[in-house]
Amino acid sequence: MTTPSALERPTGVPLGHRLAARLVLLPAIALALLPPRRIRAVLGVLRRGAAPATTTQAQAARDALCAVSLRCTGPKGCLPRSLGAALLCRLQGAWPTWCAGVRVVPPFTAHAWIEAEGRPVGEAVPDGYFAPLVTVEPADR
């Protein structure tokens, strides 16, 4: 038996942000199909020359992805959502810290997220709830 649920999608996302999110959605989904070391290598190249993203920039990118894609809004959409948000930030000249890791408390599950200014963005969990295993931080300028 299934339990009905409703996914909350952000509203009020400007048209420009939604169009840019649609632009990065397909590359993010394709990137999510790669093995972790390839994802890290690709993101390592893409982050070059970008300034560290602010929390506001990262949250806006995450909201834009969730506004245009049900796949990214859903509970199993963390990898394409985090990759798409990182790519969207990069289009604006910024780079958040992209993280992939596990939940610290049982049940242990994999998760991917972005961080800005040292804190997870858009995750309704306390600090330390996730343990990062792979990170791609902004490059030193």
User: Greater confidence, 107 or 57?
Assistant: 57
- Residues 16 and 26: their CA atoms lie apart, in Å, by 17
The pLDDT > 70 percentage for the chain reads 93
Confidence category of residue 2, pLDDT binned at 50, 70, 90: very low
Strands 97-103 vs 110-116: parallel, antiparallel or unpaired: antiparallel
Q: Taking the alpha carbons of 4, 124, 80, 108 in that order, is the dihedral positive or negative? A: negative
Stretch (H or E) spanning 57: helix 55-68
Who's near 27: CB < 8 A, 6+ residues apart? 87
SS3 99: strand
Confidence category of residue 6, pLDDT binned at 50, 70, 90: low
Instruction: Identify the residue whose tokens are 């600090």.
Output: 127
Ramachandran bin of 80, using left for φ above 0, alpha for ψ from -120 to 50, beta for the remaining angles: alpha
User: Greater confidence, 70 or 48?
Assistant: 48
